[in-house]
């Protein structure tokens, strides 16, 4: 499972899962150290302020508005290839779009980037913010 693998490889990080329903219940039952699932929030930007990346692991989604919100908040997005928002993410970097079975490796790769490399991604996000924000409406 993705969270257990990440927890094993990335010991010093906290993981925040903004999910609801049965997925949230399942995460809570796993009792994985430093993995939090607060549930639905109408103000995800409050959580985004405490984060550096946004992972959208959906195996299929027509268009992930949450990805757009995260990008507008300056988070580096990682999405799966069958996500309708991938066209927006690829304007930042095609390397942030992966097959579902490659998510763990990509998360570790992005979290391991140098500060300068992360700043470079954030600059790209900032340059694209106006176009991205129009999609939120």
| pLDDT band at residue 8 under the 50/70/90 scheme | low
Q: For residues 68 and 66, what is the distance between their CA atoms, to the nearest angstrom?
A: 5
In terms of domains, do 6 and 65 share one? no
- Structural domain total, the chain: 2
What 8-state DSSP symbol labels residue 75? Answer: P
Evaluate whether residue 46 is within a structural domain. Answer: no
In terms of domains, do 58 and 120 share one? yes
pLDDT higher than threshold 60 for residue 23: yes
**67: CATH:** 3.40.50.2000
What's the pLDDT tens digit per position in 88-109?
Answer: 898 888 999 999 888 888 988 9
| pLDDT band at residue 3 under the 50/70/90 scheme | low
In terms of domains, do 27 and 74 share one? no
What 8-state DSSP symbol labels residue 35? Answer: E
Residues of the chain with pLDDT > 70, as a percent, come to 86
What's the farthest any 2 CA atoms get from each other in the chain?
41
Q: For residues 106 and 97, what is the distance between their CA atoms, to the nearest angstrom?
A: 9
In terms of domains, do 130 and 71 share one? yes
Evaluate whether residue 45 is within a structural domain. Answer: no
Residues of the chain with pLDDT > 90, as a percent, come to 14
Alpha-carbon distance values, 25 to 37, 39, 54, 133 (Å): 9, 9, 21, 32
Range of the domain at 91: 52-136
Q: What is the pLDDT of residue 26?
A: 86
Tell me which residue has tokens 């079975």: 101
In terms of domains, do 29 and 58 share one? no
């Amino acid at each position: 499972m993705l969270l257990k693998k990440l927890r094993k490889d990335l010991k010093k990080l906290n993981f925040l899962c903004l999910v609801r329903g049965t997925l949230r219940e399942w995460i809570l039952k796993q009792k994985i150290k430093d993995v939090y699932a607060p549930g639905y929030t109408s103000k995800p930007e409050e959580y985004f302020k405490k984060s550096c990346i946004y992972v959208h692991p959906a195996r299929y989604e027509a268009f992930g508005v949450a990805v757009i919100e995260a990008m507008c908040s300056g988070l580096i997005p990682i999405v799966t290839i069958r996500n309708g928002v991938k066209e927006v993410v690829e304007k930042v970097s095609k390397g942030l779009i992966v097959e579902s079975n490659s998510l763990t490796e990509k998360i570790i790769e992005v979290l391991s980037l140098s500060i300068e490399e992360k700043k470079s991604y954030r600059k790209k996000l900032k340059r694209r913010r106006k176009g991205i924000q129009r999609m939120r409406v």
